[in-house]
Amino acid sequence: MKRQRRSLIVVALVLMAAPLLYAVLSFAARPAPRPLWLEPPAPNTSCILPTAVIRYDHMQHLKNLRDQVMREGRREELTGARAQGLTSCRGCHAHRERFCDRCHERASVRLDCFGCHVY
Ligand code: HEC
Ligand code: HEC
Ligand code: HEC
């Protein structure tokens, strides 16, 4: 009689615990979605320079371009199909705050460019 009662209690406890156990296991099994850190560029495009070059040298590239435009008055690279320029990036990297800014913040880089240039 005593034994029977004990096993009834055990069965009841297992039944009560089952939903919790199920929830824990299914939560653990589901891979957490990882949001992309940098907004992907417009599909089927390529950057104005090869990826490895633009990744590490875009600052120098933009400053060279600025000198070319401001000091030498050469503006030919600002127009046309492969137009460059500080705000041309927008064509493929649509949101500055989800691309440029995100990386600069992580690297503790502070730019003053966007006080004048609209992006
Ligand atoms: C005080 C305002 C100001 C600041 C700050 C500034 N610029 Fe400019 N920039 C200008 C003006 C004005 C022009 C000339 C625009 C023209 O002639 O089309 C220009 C032109 C340029 C150009 C060539 C034209 C174009 O549209 O791309 C580049 C590249 C450029 N700047 C890059 C930069 C970068 C990079 C920074 C930040 C490191 C920066 N600028 C900060 C005012 C500024
Ligand atoms: C015609 C579309 C296009 C334009 C315009 C463009 N990009 Fe890109 N950019 C891309 C693509 C596509 C990639 C990704 C290449 C890859 O993943 O191999 C990229 C990659 C990059 C990266 C490297 C990101 C990383 O993962 O490290 C940087 C930095 C970058 N672009 C900066 C710029 C800047 C600055 C400008 C403007 C002067 C610009 N891009 C203009 C298409 C573009
Ligand atoms: C993959 C990371 C990354 C992305 C994406 C990126 N940058 Fe940068 N950028 C950097 C780093 C790191 C530096 C600082 C390099 C240094 O100081 O030597 C920098 C520096 C710059 C500078 C020079 C600032 C100064 O005052 O000297 C400019 C201009 C610039 N980035 C523009 C852009 C623009 C515009 C975009 C978006 C289209 C962009 N960057 C996207 C990493 C990135």
Tokens standing for 114? 């966007």
Average per-residue pLDDT for the chain: 91
Tokens standing for 18? 């089952």
14-28, 46-60, 82-96, 101-115: least confidently modelled range? 14-28
CA 12 distance to own-chain centroid: 49
CA distance 111 to 119: 12
- pLDDT of 1 above 70: no
Q: DSSP labels for 7-38?
A: HHHHHHHHHHHHHHHHHHHHHHHSPPP---SS
* pLDDT per residue as tens digits for the range 8-32: 988 888 898 888 888 888 888 887 7
Whole-model pTM: value is 0.85
Of the ligands numbered here, which is closest to the C-alpha atom of 84?
A: 2
- Please work out whether the CB of residue 60 comes within 6 Å of at least one atom of ligand 2: no
The pLDDT of residue 106: 95
Pocket test for ligand 1, best of 79, 100, 111, 116 (most atoms within 8 A of CB): 116
More confident residue, 28 or 42: 42
Which ligand 1 atom sits nearest the alpha carbon of residue 63? 35
